[in-house]
Amino acid sequence: WQEVLAEDALILRGYALAEQHVLLRAVDDVIREAPFRHLVTPGGFTMSVAMTNCGPLGWVSDRRGYRYDAIDPTTGKPWPAMPPVFLNLAKEAAALAGFDDFVPDACLINRYEVGTRLSLHQDRDEADTNQPIVSVSLGIPAIFQFGGNQRTDPKIRVPLTHGDVVVWGGRSRLAYHAVLPLKANSHPLTGSVRINLTFRKAR
């Protein structure tokens, strides 16, 4: 159930299944305090993926740029605390991939509805790119596209399904990646939606 996706990128298939119900309940608790919203990119486009955050820092985007902020711009309040089940899962997954002292300070929660996509990008808003990123997929499946350190490098397509956890570090940390438009589907726990949790050490 452990697959090497690329150099320093490890897929733990189904690793989140043991905690699936607790995880989804925790997402519901977070979004009651910090609702999903569609952020605007610096270029003025509204993202099709809806986002929110929990933990000390949250990733936000607006016309001024991308950044991490301790305050939710929608509510004016700090982001909800990171649920213990989130923190423990992220730490355990990182440790399995060889990152023993990963302590995320930000959890971005992405909600994909049918037709929603995330275009090709790098994650480079974090201070220390030696720190890994842990992602958890819940709900309906997506096809994830994974390339190299240059936008035009060849890409592979990988299905990510309910319960899959991926740890991206080292040589994969700055790889370009995308999520292809979601196909219509349904999952007993989420309906027609995919939820992705991304754990990062932003500062």
Q: Which residues are at the interface with ligand MD3 (CB under 6 A)?
A: 108, 110, 118, 123, 133, 135, 166, 168, 172-173, 175, 177, 179, 196, 198
Binds 60: which of ligand MD3, Fe ion, none (CB < 5-8 Å by kind): none
Q: Which does 82 bind (CB under 5 to 8 A by kind): Fe ion, ligand MD3, none?
A: none
Q: How far is the CB of 85 from Fe ion (least distance, A)?
A: 22
8 binds Fe ion (CB under 5 A): no
Q: Which residue, 76 or 124, has its beta carbon nearer to ligand MD3?
A: 124
The binding track of 106-135 with respect to Fe ion, each residue x by CB under 5 A or -, is -----------------x------------
User: Is 88 assigned to a binding site?
Assistant: no
Residue type, 62: D
**Least distance in Å: CB of 57 to ligand MD3?**
14
The string of DSSP letters for the chain reads: -EEEEETTEEEETTTTGGGHHHHHHHHHHHHHHS--B-PBPTTSPBPSSEEEEESSBEEEEETTEEEEESB-TTTSSBPPPPPHHHHHHHHHHHHHTT-TT---SEEEEEEE-TT--EEEE----SS-TTS-EEEEEEES-EEEEE--SSTTS--EEEEE-TT-EEEE-GGGTT--EEEPPPPS--BTTTBS-EEEEEEE---
> Is 173 marked as a binding-site residue?
no
Least distance (Å) from Fe ion to the CB of residue 126? 11
The count of residues interacting with Fe ion (CB under 5 A) is 1
Question: CA–CA separation, 176 vs 156, rounded Å?
Answer: 11
Residue ranges that bind Fe ion, judged by CB under 5 A: 123
- Report the binding-site residues: 59, 66-68, 110-112, 121, 123, 125, 151, 177, 194-200
